[in-house]
Amino acid sequence: MSMISFARIKAVLLKEFVQMRRDRMTFAMMIGIPIMQLVMFGFAINSDPRHLPTALIDRDHSTFSRSVIAAAENSTFMDIAYRPTHEEDAETLMREGKINFIFIIPENFARDLVREENPQILVVADATDPSATSGAVNSMNEIVRSGLQRDLSGALSNISAKPLPVDVVLHKRYNPAGITQYNIIPGLLGIIIAMTMTMITAVAITREKERGTMENLLAMPIRPMEMMVGKIAPYVIIGYVQTVVVMLAAEFAFDIPIVGSLSLLFWAVTLYIIVNLMIGFLFSSIAQTQMQALQMTFFLLMPQILLSGFLFPFLGMPRWAQYIGEALPATHFMRLMRGIMLKGAGAMDLMSSFWPLLLIMLVVGIAAMVRYQETLD
């Protein structure tokens, strides 16, 4: 027995390959996770975001204003997505998280420029995520200079000789100091809840299967909805505890202001907790073992971290990655938390983030009940 037998090693090796073939979910995770990482890090993640949506208010409509706008778009930092008439409409778009910049060119811009009166251009940046807007903010003077260079020629060449004939006024909204924690901490709560709530309930049913108590549950006169509510309800309290801990740390450790309504924040957190608990319940009804349930949780958690706007600017990602991100509950929760805490947004401002969470909750809840009903049958 002290001799190493390659035949015995081969037997164990073949046995492991057979077991791997039978455990198709684990094998799929082994292949799927590296592919998902390659796609997200290689194509979706962008630390230097471009083509960020911008609201333009051009009150001058002159050759000079059009040249400045063209230069801003040619820089690839901005894409003019909205042309509201009033600043209030542009502010609403920014509170809703639909734009990163408001670009305002005042009346008589061309007249004041020709008179060498240094007209102003106002650029308002959503600084809740400093990394998203820093490139455009740092390059704004050069962008304006390049836009006016061709028009300021001939008789106006003396104006172009100045360092910058226009005053570019930059307003960093919601986070003027550019503090990274303002962006990270509200989003971190979403990741913590997504990880713990999904993981806890993901093993709820699979634990019953492995312990042999699933038959007892199936024999009980209980409906799928009643089972799901009974399984997830205790963990809602745990989600509230996590929320209180993060909010206290945000307030006293990181000095992050909570500008908006606490009651609105409470309802956003409650909805998000329930969504993640339902997702975990769905996973537990699909998986055969606790390991498979945890693997499914990890498979969902990675895109929620990378494609939700938690670490990388959401609007700076490719369009296809944004479509995937819109299907993730964490994406909408990030917008809700940052909108309430930093922007003071109200319920109507955030309705475009509330209803997708409600829709996800409805779809996942129905899928979980159908799957559990199949188990009963």
Q: Which of 25-34, 198-207, 287-296, 304-313 has the highest mean pLDDT?
A: 304-313
The residue among 131 and 364 whose pLDDT is bigger is: 364
- The sign of the dihedral angle between the CA atoms of 103, 106, 110, 113 is negative
CA distance 327 to 329: 7
Tens digit of pLDDT for each residue in 46-99? 777 888 999 999 999 999 999 999 999 898 888 999 999 999 999 999 998 899
Q: How confident is the model at residue 274 (pLDDT cuts 50, 70, 90)?
A: very high
The residue among 167 and 21 whose pLDDT is bigger is: 167
Answer yes or no: is pLDDT of 376 > 70: no
Tens digit of pLDDT for each residue in 12-53? 878 777 777 776 666 676 777 778 777 777 777 777 788 899
Alpha carbon 23 to its chain centroid, in Å, reads 33
pLDDT at residue 176 in the model: 86
Which tokens hold the place of 53? 């949506």
CA distance 291 to 283: 11
In contact, 228 and 274? CB cutoff 8 Å: no
Question: What percentage of the chain has pLDDT greater than the value 90?
Answer: 36
* Tokens 């300021």 sit on residue: 152
The CA distances from residue 55 to 226, 302, 321, in Å, are 48, 32, 22
pLDDT at residue 103 in the model: 93
The count of residues in the chain is 377
Q: How confident is the model at residue 290 (pLDDT cuts 50, 70, 90)?
A: confident
pLDDT at residue 131 in the model: 80
pLDDT at residue 60 in the model: 93
Tell me the mean pLDDT in the region 102-127.
Answer: 90
Q: How confident is the model at residue 202 (pLDDT cuts 50, 70, 90)?
A: confident
Answer yes or no: is pLDDT of 284 > 60: yes
The residue among 247 and 160 whose pLDDT is bigger is: 247
Answer yes or no: is pLDDT of 261 > 80: yes
Residues near 373 by beta carbon (within 8 Å), at least 6 away in sequence: 224
Tens digit of pLDDT for each residue in 325-346? 999 999 999 999 999 999 988 8
CA distance 38 to 55: 34
pLDDT at residue 357 in the model: 95
Residues near 172 by beta carbon (within 8 Å), at least 6 away in sequence: 125, 127, 133, 137, 178
In contact, 324 and 307? CB cutoff 8 Å: yes
Looking at the domain covering 52-173, what would its CATH class be? alpha beta
Q: How confident is the model at residue 217 (pLDDT cuts 50, 70, 90)?
A: low
DSSP 5: -
Q: How confident is the model at residue 374 (pLDDT cuts 50, 70, 90)?
A: low
Tell me the mean pLDDT in the region 168-172.
Answer: 90
Question: What percentage of the chain has pLDDT greater than the value 70?
Answer: 90
pLDDT at residue 316 in the model: 83
Answer yes or no: is pLDDT of 231 > 80: no
pLDDT at residue 272 in the model: 96
Nearest to 345 by CA among 268, 271, 241: 268
In contact, 17 and 63? CB cutoff 8 Å: no
Answer yes or no: is pLDDT of 1 > 70: no
CA distance 8 to 5: 5
In contact, 129 and 309? CB cutoff 8 Å: yes
Q: How confident is the model at residue 194 (pLDDT cuts 50, 70, 90)?
A: very high
Whole-number CA gyration radius for the chain? 27
Which tokens hold the place of 257? 């202001």
Q: How confident is the model at residue 239 (pLDDT cuts 50, 70, 90)?
A: very high
CA distance 118 to 114: 9
Q: How confident is the model at residue 286 (pLDDT cuts 50, 70, 90)?
A: confident
The full set of domain ranges for the chain reads 52-173, 180-376
Lowest mean pLDDT among 119-123, 186-190, 231-235, 295-299: 231-235
Helix spans in the chain (H): 6-22, 24-39, 63-74, 87-95, 109-114, 130-149, 157-160, 180-202, 204-211, 214-219, 224-248, 262-286, 290-306, 319-326, 329-341, 351-376
Tell me the mean pLDDT in the region 175-187.
Answer: 87
Answer yes or no: is pLDDT of 218 > 70: no
Phi and psi torsions of 68, nearest 5°: -65, -40
